[in-house]
């Protein structure tokens, strides 16, 4: 093969190589844009869900009944702080029964529908806590309960001055876990005595 042909072949290979690199970069850019668009969509969806909570004005009797739910919740939290599986189980069932027996006949329209949705989510978590035989699984259900209870309080209010929404970043293998407290001091229901004060106040509901 003479030098001229060799140079032509090398030139063709270089052109092909450059085109391949350019094409690869193009697909990388498209993939990155798709990822960014997807992430933006997820962020927008998350914000929409958080902003979609409608706040209702409810009568004092409703708040009085719901205060009993909150008292039971605080007892449940302390049972988990103490890593007391049996007490957590019985308290969860008691809290579920209080929710079920609430007289909400004066709620109408959207308020009634939203309450039924919140009530269903709360009762489902409470029944799970009641039925679980491992404290770790009770705590996972308690995290879901706490998040939905926070939304319920935000929507319907409460007969209390302040409720603290608290957070431990190390719970559930560093995924993080939330709970509610009637005091600012941290008493972690996910680690108990092992890491009792691990956590921080993320929000204060002033109602």
Distance CA 39, CA 57 (A): 35
pLDDT, averaged across the chain: 81
Check pLDDT > 90 for residue 95. yes
The pLDDT of residue 17 is 52
Q: Pick from 185, 204, 1: which is nearest to 77 by CA?
A: 185
The most distant pair of C-alpha atoms in the chain lies apart, rounded to whole Å, by 99
Q: What is the pTM of this model?
A: 0.73
Which helix (DSSP H) or strand (DSSP E) does residue 157 occupy? none
Instruction: Report the range of poorest mean pLDDT among 27-36, 58-67, 119-128.
Output: 27-36
Residue spans per domain, the chain: 1-43, 60-206
Q: For residue 57, what pLDDT band results from cuts at 50, 70 and 90?
A: confident
Q: What is the pLDDT of residue 61?
A: 82
């Amino acid at each position: 093969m003479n030098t001229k042909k060799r140079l032509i072949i090398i030139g063709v290979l270089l052109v092909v190589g450059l085109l391949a690199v350019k094409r690869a970069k193009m697909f990388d850019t498209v993939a990155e844009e798709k990822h960014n668009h997807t992430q933006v969509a997820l962020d927008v969806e998350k914000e929409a869900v958080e902003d979609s909570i409608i706040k209702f004005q409810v009568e004092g009797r409703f708040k009085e009944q719901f205060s009993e739910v909150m008292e039971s919740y605080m007892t449940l939290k302390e049972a988990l702080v103490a890593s007391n599986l049996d007490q957590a189980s019985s308290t969860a069932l008691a809290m579920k029964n209080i929710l079920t027996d609430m007289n909400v006949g004066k709620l109408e329209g959207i308020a009634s529908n939203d309450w039924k949705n919140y009530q269903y989510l709360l009762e489902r978590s409470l029944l799970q806590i009641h039925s679980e035989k491992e404290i770790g699984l009770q705590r996972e259900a308690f995290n879901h309960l706490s998040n939905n209870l926070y939304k319920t309080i935000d929507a319907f209010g409460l007969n209390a001055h302040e409720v603290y929404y608290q957070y431990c970043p190390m719970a559930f293998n560093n995924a993080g876990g939330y709970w509610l407290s009637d005091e600012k001091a941290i008493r972690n229901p996910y680690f108990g005595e092992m890491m009792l004060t691990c956590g921080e106040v993320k929000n204060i509901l002033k109602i």
